[in-house]
């Protein structure tokens, strides 16, 4: 075992706010064994490393890092999305996006990098600074930047915090210096809350002005959790749904003009 694993295990465990005993119970081992591993007094085999990763619900990328730190080969591939082997997956993703029409939907890589979107997603491009639409488009910046859609969002303080709180929770699970810098930037765009919101997250509709009328949208996030390839496991599908019939009618009429 390399010298990195004891510190790596302890740092990851603490980031998830788990005690040694809690981790041991989840991983079907003993607190003493976890303690010995973190002290470098015990060398875990790949099975134990995998159980510890499972117990902490690590991503595939983190599991590979875990295995490398313990001196073992990574277990999960990372196939480029333009690889021929993933062509059926790309077709399936396009089918999902088109199937959500006339409502907006998009697929993003880690840190909000836009990978693909359906035609209805162009409602978010209205009056946006072209610089923010240059590839690679960052969907978080597109949402909250003052030259993005932020001026058209009627409930920006609440909706914006729906985004930043989700990112903060992700950082708590998986420390990431680049994501932390992005979060600081995004929080700098948000105006203060004037009143304490009753709810956050899914229950906060996006109040968005568009050229066709006022939209109220709720959003759902879907991850490809059963994927065994890092590239696919890190993709997220964000689908927007109308929160009222007026919004649904506007989006249906927009589709008729395509």
Q: Delimit the domains of the chain by residue range.
A: 4-69, 84-256
Q: H-helix or E-strand containing 106? A: strand 105-109
Q: Which CATH code fits 84-256?
A: 3.30.450.180
Provide Rg for the chain, Cα atoms: 21
CB 98 within 8 A of CB 107: no
Is residue 97 packed enough to be buried (19+ CB in 10 Å), middle (13-18) or exposed (0-12)?
buried
Give me the residues of the chain with pLDDT under 50, please. Answer: 1-2, 199-202
Instruction: Give the separation between CA 166 and CA 201, rounded to whole angstroms.
Output: 8
Other residues' Cβ atoms within 10 Å of the Cβ of residue 123:
21
Between the CA of residue 100 and those of 42, 117, 246, what are the distances in Å? 52, 10, 18
Helix residue ranges per DSSP H, 70-138? 87-99
Ramachandran category for residue 234: left, alpha or beta (phi over 0 → left; psi -120 to 50 → alpha): alpha
pLDDT score recorded for residue 195:
64
Between the CA of residue 177 and those of 8, 101, 147, 182, 236, what are the distances in Å? 16, 36, 25, 9, 20
CB 96 within 8 A of CB 104: no
- CATH superfamily placement of domain 4-69: lambda repressor-like DNA-binding domains (1.10.260.40)
pLDDT score recorded for residue 201:
44
């Amino acid at each position: 075992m390399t010298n990195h694993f004891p510190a790596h295990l302890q740092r990851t465990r603490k980031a998830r706010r788990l005690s040694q005993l809690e981790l041991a119970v989840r991983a079907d081992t003993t607190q003493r064994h976890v303690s010995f591993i973190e002290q470098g007094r015990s060398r875990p085999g790949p099975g134990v490393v995998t159980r510890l990763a499972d117990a902490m619900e690590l991503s595939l990328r983190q599991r590979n890092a875990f295995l490398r730190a313990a001196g073992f080969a990574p277990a999960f591939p990372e196939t480029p999305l333009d690889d021929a082997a993933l062509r059926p997956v790309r077709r399936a993703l396009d089918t999902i996006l088109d199937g959500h029409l006339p409502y907006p939907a998009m697929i993003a890589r880690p840190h909000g990098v836009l990978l693909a979107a359906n035609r209805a997603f162009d409602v978010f491009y209205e009056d946006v600074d072209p610089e923010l639409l240059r590839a690679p488009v960052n969907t978080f910046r597109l949402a909250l930047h003052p030259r993005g859609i932020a001026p058209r969002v009627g409930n920006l303080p609440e909706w914006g915090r729906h985004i930043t709180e989700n990112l903060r929770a992700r950082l708590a699970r998986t420390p990431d210096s680049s994501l932390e810098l992005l979060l600081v930037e995004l929080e700098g765009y948000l105006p203060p809350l004037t009143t304490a919101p009753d709810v956050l997250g899914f229950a906060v509709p996006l109040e968005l002005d568009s050229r066709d009328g006022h939209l109220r949208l709720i959003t759902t996030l879907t991850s490809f959790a059963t994927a065994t390839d890092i590239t696919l496991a890190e993709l997220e599908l964000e689908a927007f749904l109308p929160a009222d019939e007026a919004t649904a009618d506007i989006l249906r009429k927009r589709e008729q003009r395509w």
